[in-house]
Amino acid sequence: MRGLPRARRRQGKIDRRDTPTGIRRSASHAVSSLHRRTNEGAKMPHANGLPTVVALATGGTIAGQGSAGKATNYRPGQIDVNTLLQLAAPDFDLANLRGEQVCNVNSDDITSEHWTELARAINRLAADPDIDGFVVTHGTDTLEETAYFLNLTVKTDKPVIITGAMRPATATSADGPMNLRQSIALAGNPLARGKGVLVVFSDGIFGGRDVRKISTIQTDAFSANDFGCMGYMVDGVPHIFNAPVKPHTLATEFDVEGLSTLPSVAVAYFAVDADPAVLRFHVDRGARGLVIAGAGAGCYSTPWNNAIVELEETGIPVVRASRIGAGLITHDDFYRGNLIDGSDLPPQKAAVLLRLALTRTSSRTEIQRMFDTY
């Protein structure tokens, strides 16, 4: 869900004049007693035997605030990690919690610099044997892209759970606190270990590779389409019925150490009468690869096909994906050139994989292998 125009957002800080009294009072103890500790990375005091979970906050609707009770016309990325944790686990009964504020932005403003910073932070913290798992709070618009990126780049088998909200924290029946609470419970549970990056939303558990946002307004906003959810969270207890089969985390060849950003890749959306000149435009603007959001099974017009062949002859890798949202892209001899088949990845996730692939190779054959593998 979208907030107000960018010019009206205030990122990174809470304006207490706009914070409803209920949130301000319920969070006051947490902010005063935990702000210094979480900034220093110290543990919150908990009973012995609880797992230690680190929450990495990036902003989004879950950290949004607006008019009391309203679910629209709010500002994302206003509430800090300390307050989010207090709202989700006021009794600190789920885990020994630590919080880090990576950024506090609308997820439409997330960049590959945020991605690499987040992956490096998790990799660094995962080396601490006292940490059992991680939760990332994130805006829902681009959550699925961040989930897939982390699924390919995080180098730990410890649980990494991503969650968010469709209603801001100030809305009636805000969904963020429960989503975060369930995510904390899953991050501290050994059942989630070794399953890659997971997304928890509206009681569902989804794999980071397959999850997609499917609604602009419903709180049950995520699905894995053809593949279904991996399980459910019920009162903080995970019920997991399947596991990912594609390589992830420790089993991938991608490494973000030394990377601050990723190669530029453009997504070109095909529709009736779409001008193929847009393809050359993206390349002239510096795109090192293209993903085609084609009709049906990744299809497009003859003029687009001719333009793509010309680009491929210059060495630009082009991936065929589909705007449909379900199904599979396989090789089709009808399309000339050396197109890369995008498998079942939607265009936005195909772009994530192509950007990572370009950090390692420009070979079409190698990039196709990566799409077949991941």
> Is 74:13 a contact under the CB 8 Å cutoff?
no
Question: Of 1.10.3720.10, 3.40.50.1170, 3.30.70.260, 3.40.50.300, which CATH number belongs to 6-251?
Answer: 3.40.50.1170
Cα–Cα distance, 161 to 54 (Å, whole number): 10
DSSP 91-118: T--S-EEEEEEEEEE-GGG--HHHHHHH
> Is 263:288 a contact under the CB 8 Å cutoff?
yes
Cα–Cα distance, 186 to 175 (Å, whole number): 17
Closest CA to 156 of 192, 102, 114: 192
Domain 265-373 has CATH 3.40.50.1370: no
> Is 304:279 a contact under the CB 8 Å cutoff?
yes
Cα–Cα distance, 177 to 86 (Å, whole number): 9
Amino acid type, 164: G
Sequence ranges of the domains in the chain: 6-251, 265-373
Q: If you ran DSSP here, which 8-state letter would residue 75 be given? A: B
Contacts of 7 (CB under 8 A, 6+ apart): none
Cα–Cα distance, 138 to 77 (Å, whole number): 9
Q: Are strands 204-207 and 197-201 parallel, antiparallel or unpaired?
A: antiparallel
| Residues taking part in catalysis | 61
* Shared fold status for 6-251 and 265-373: yes
Closest CA to 164 of 232, 249, 106: 106
Q: pLDDT per position in the chain (374 positions), as tens?
A: 444 333 333 333 333 333 443 444 344 333 333 333 333 343 444 446 999 999 999 999 999 999 999 999 999 999 999 999 999 999 888 999 999 999 999 999 999 999 999 999 999 999 999 999 999 999 999 999 999 999 999 999 999 999 999 999 999 999 999 999 999 999 999 999 999 999 999 999 999 999 999 999 999 999 998 888 999 999 999 999 999 999 999 999 999 998 989 999 999 999 999 999 999 999 999 999 999 999 999 999 999 999 999 998 899 999 999 999 899 998 877 766 679 999 999 999 999 999 999 999 999 999 999 999 99
Predicted model pTM: 0.87
Tokens of 33: 């007693």
